Amino acid sequence: MGLLVAISIFSFILISNSPVDPVQSYIGAEISRISPEQRTNIEEYWGLHRSKPEQYFLWSKAVFQGNLGESLIYRKPVTDIIWERFSASILLMGIAWVLSGVFGLILGILAGMNEGSILDRIIKSYSFILASTPAFWFGLLVLMVFAAWLNWFPVGLAAPAGSLRGEVSLADTFKHLFLPVLTLSIGGVASIALHTREKMIEVLSSEFIRFARAKGLSGMRLFWRHGLRNISLPAISLHFASFGELFGGAVLTEQVFSYPGLGQAVVRAGLGGDIPLLLGITLFSVVFIFVGNFMADLLYVVIDPRMKTKQAHD
């Protein structure tokens, strides 16, 4: 909560000191047509003549009442836009998140189990390269290959252009999601795979695996009994804590694929000087990332018996 207040103040200061003129954003190109009196009226109506702390106070009071204000470019309440956009984004982010977690875990386990082998080296270099590849660059590459050259998937949007809501088939949704999901999950796969690989190597050289082998366990039985739990726990937690990167990746990916999600909205809000929307989405993303981190901590407490008793002792 303290974090939320701090971030809201910080972004408020940043934005209100930026050269963005909200009146101009609102009126658009017709700004030259309004008289100075009209302009003062608008400013007064919005409270722009008040001091900055006063403005912040009024804004945060409204936020507490669940009112994030009205978007200047969409001419709709900010909360409506966030929900509408977020439901599109969550589909993209959710699928990408699950896929990158599952594949990252599998690749990491394979690499760690065969440390030093060719397979390991391939997975490792693949992950290192992907971890350092910006999402938008990869997105463009994917677009060029699969959409422009091979024509397998649409170039952008969440549904065929011109189709109405409710008319979009599942196959169409899937087709439009495929490339953005691919782009977005790629980065996540790399970090989970590398992390899991390290953990796998550590677990394999641990005393309890040596003992389990001395007890006659080997192969898959050894892995199921003593390996998987010890490896997946830190991986799942790390994956939840990566909500921030997921969100950042979504902003770029949605931009590349003109996917109408929250990420795209934030870019338009920023470019269009839509202060209420920008602040609203900032706050929302902070909450989103916080939820991820909170889940990561919570999960540790729920799954890891070592944490449970530690808490009981505190």
Partner 1 sequence: MENISIPNKKNKIPLLEVKQLSLSFPQYKKGFEESYIQVIRDFELTIYPGEIVAVVGSSGSGKSLLADSILGILPENAAINGTLLFKGVALTKNRQEQLRGKAISLIPQSVKALDPLMKTGRQVQGIIRDKKDKKRIQEEAFLKLGLAPGTGDKYPHELSGGMARRVLIASAMVSEAQLIIADEPTPGLDELAWEETLSNLKQLSEGNRGIMFITHDIQAALKIADKIAVFYAGETLEIANKEDFSGKGEVLRHPYTKALWLALPENDFKVLKGNQPESEDVFPGCVFEPRCPIATGLCKTNKPDSTMINNGITRCFYA
Q: At residue 97, what is the residue type?
A: W
Report 60-79 residues binding partner 1 (CB under 8 A).
Answer: none
b/e sequence 269-284, b meaning 16+ C-beta within 10 Å: bbebbbbbbbbbbbbb
How many residues form the binding site for partner 1 (CB under 8 A)?
Answer: 21
Cβ 167 to partner 1 shortest distance, Å = 50
For partner 1, the closer CB: 57 or 211: 211
For partner 1, the closer CB: 141 or 228: 228
Q: Does 29 bind partner 1 (CB under 8 A)?
A: no
Cβ 226 to partner 1 shortest distance, Å = 5
Q: In whole angstroms, how far apart are CA 272 and each of 18, 43, 71, 268?
A: 13, 18, 10, 6
Measured distance CA(63)–CA(242) in Å, rounded: 27
Q: Structure tokens of 47?
A: 């409270």
Cβ 122 to partner 1 shortest distance, Å = 20
Q: At residue 259, what is the residue type?
A: Y
Please answer whether residues 146 and 154 qualify as being in contact, where contact means their C-beta atoms are separated by less than 8 angstroms. Answer: no
Cβ 182 to partner 1 shortest distance, Å = 34
For partner 1, the closer CB: 137 or 224: 224
Report 231-290 residues binding partner 1 (CB under 8 A).
Answer: 233
Report 293-312 residues binding partner 1 (CB under 8 A).
Answer: 304-306, 309
Q: Structure tokens of 108?
A: 């990491």
Cβ 98 to partner 1 shortest distance, Å = 23
| Burial classification of residue 204, based on how many CB atoms lie within 10 Å of its CB (0-12 exposed, 13-18 middle, 19 or more buried) | middle
What is the per-residue binding string for partner 1 in 141-180, x denoting contact by CB under 8 A? ----------------------------------------
String of DSSP letters for 225-241: IIIHHHHHHHHHHHHHH
What is the per-residue binding string for partner 1 in 183-222, x denoting contact by CB under 8 A? -----------------------xxx-xxxxxxxxx----
Measured distance CA(177)–CA(231) in Å, rounded: 30
For partner 1, the closer CB: 173 or 309: 309
Cβ 116 to partner 1 shortest distance, Å = 10
For partner 1, the closer CB: 10 or 208: 208
| Burial classification of residue 136, based on how many CB atoms lie within 10 Å of its CB (0-12 exposed, 13-18 middle, 19 or more buried) | middle
Helices and strands counted in the chain (H then E): 15, 0
Contact set with partner 1 (CB under 8 A): 206-208, 210-218, 225-226, 229-230, 233, 304-306, 309
